Amino acid sequence: SLPIVAVVGRPNVGKSTLVNRILGRRQAVVEDVAGVTRDRVAYDAEWTGRHFTVVDTGGWLPDAKERARAIATQAEIAAQTADVVLFVVDATIPPTSDDEAAVRMLRRSGSPVILVANKVDNARIEGEIASLWGLGLGEPFPVSALHGRGAGDLLDKILEAL
């Protein structure tokens, strides 16, 4: 079976947009309203001749307490079943307590995690991502899932980690 890359993170950070960027086509559902992606959806992906499965996650509950737990649970499932986890944050705003709860889960799991700083649409935003080292997941990897900035480099990094 193919190696699995799971994409996890808070609602609206751009997980489904990133999945579409990885696939090179619009297939994952992108929504301006948080919380509508089904729980876990798997797609076949390919980059430079290598094939893998990419899993989009979502389905968060609206209630704040439930939501934090749901995100941490998704992170835990992803870490248990994936060969590499892409933990996606919105680089245009500071990390939230939900981000931090998921990070604690991922760090405990010991699974390989790539910290994806999404919505880095330009050089100015890229200049501000150094603070994300503070999450304790290593180097933040800047991309703009929407515009494709950094996407090829991220795919190379994913394949290195598989």
Query: Mask of contacts with ligand GDP, 9-48, x by CB under 6 A?
Result: --xxxxxxx------------xxx-x--x-----------
Pick 58 or 140: Cβ nearer Mg ion: 58
Any bridge partners for residue 86, and if so which? Answer: 7, 114
Separation between Cα atoms, residue 28 and residue 20, nearest integer Å: 6
Element (H, E) at 19: helix 15-23
Pairing of strands 84-90, 140-142: unpaired
Q: Minimum Å distance from CB 49 to ligand GDP?
A: 26
Residue 58 assigned as binding residue:
yes
Q: Which is nearer to ligand GDP, 56 or 79 (CB)?
A: 56
**Contact assessment for residue 90 and residue 119, using Cβ atoms and an 8 Å cutoff:** yes
Q: Is 122 annotated among the ligand-binding residues?
A: no
First to last CA, the chain: 13
Return the number of the residue (88 or 137) whose C-beta is nearest ligand GDP: 88
Q: Could you tell me the two tokens for 9?
A: 């993170």
Where on the chain is the footprint of ligand GDP (CB under 6 A)?
11-17, 30-32, 34, 37, 58, 118-119, 121, 144-146
Annotated binding site: 9-16, 56-60, 118-121
